[in-house]
Amino acid sequence: MRFAFAILLSLAAASAQTPSPTPSNPAAKTAEDESAQRARALLDKAIEALGGAAYLSYSTRSEEGRTYSLYHSQTRGPGTIYRRFYRYADKDRLEFALERGIGVYDLIPFPIPVPEGKSNKKTDVAIIHNGDKGFEVSFKGTEQEEAKDTRDYIRSRERSMESVLRKWMHEPGVALFYDGTALGNANLADKVTITNSRNESVTLFLDTATHLPVKKSFAWRDLSDKYQNVEEETYDNYKPVQGIMTPYTLSRYYNGDLVSERFLSKIKYNDELADSLFEANAKPASN
């Protein structure tokens, strides 16, 4: 009996010394899950509002309009006629047309011709991005874009609405956060942040009534001066085009300053765009 009693005491002591399992925090986990679930539901509604399958599957976009450059939110002139040809996901051609007085866009050659070699005659400017390469075509001929400008373009392209909604959403390791409501382009909007596995984040402001994106924001740190910069883009004047809701007014902000505005006059999706539009060959630019 004494031996049995001693064993029982030993077992009781061992049980008392064994640490109890740390209780999990289901409330915190639930809150995190609810935030992600609500964010995904809102993003699904945004995609549906933009056109659903038509938005997710379009391959090319051709647009025309007028763009304005601003300094301290003040325009720098009457603006410039432009055309853009885009093929998802990394081919882009932006043409700036010289003013011709009468302003009849149909009289401008289509597309703007690329000069052979160099010429003393001024032509319109075309900026071409194809993958990680950037080129500028003008009366001087074809030159490789400065490295900084190419980096800036690629940074913006990788955080574009198409990239976030059509690519990031399906990448492994993506995290979604619902950040409540806020004003976005003078609209009450739901804030949703998408963070990919590379720790890059984009915040979308989705109109609470239409679920259409009214603003996009992202921050990045300049490695040269270590300062953080914030780039924002707002979307307005949505119109349906081939089943896709398209903003005809786009404004860009850099660290809170309005730096450019774009007003579309015409847009078409799924045009047959020749490969030659996105091809260029030039010597590297001096930096």
pLDDT, one tens digit per residue, over 231-253 is 999 999 999 999 999 999 999 99
Question: pLDDT for 184-234, tens place per residue?
Answer: 988 899 999 999 999 999 999 999 999 999 999 999 999 888 899 999 999
pTM here? 0.82
Token pair for residue 79? Answer: 């603006």
261 within some domain: yes
Q: By residue range, what is the domain housing residue 199?
A: 28-60+69-79+147-278
Domains of the chain: total:
1
For residue 187, what are the contacts with CB-CB under 8 A and spacing of at least 6? 205, 207, 208, 214
State the CB neighbour count (10 A cutoff) for residue 233.
21
Peptide bond into 89 cis (omega under 30): yes
171 within some domain: yes
106 within some domain: no
14 within some domain: no
For residue 100, what are the contacts with CB-CB under 8 A and spacing of at least 6? 107, 108
Question: pLDDT for 259-284, tens place per residue?
Answer: 999 999 999 999 999 999 999 876 65
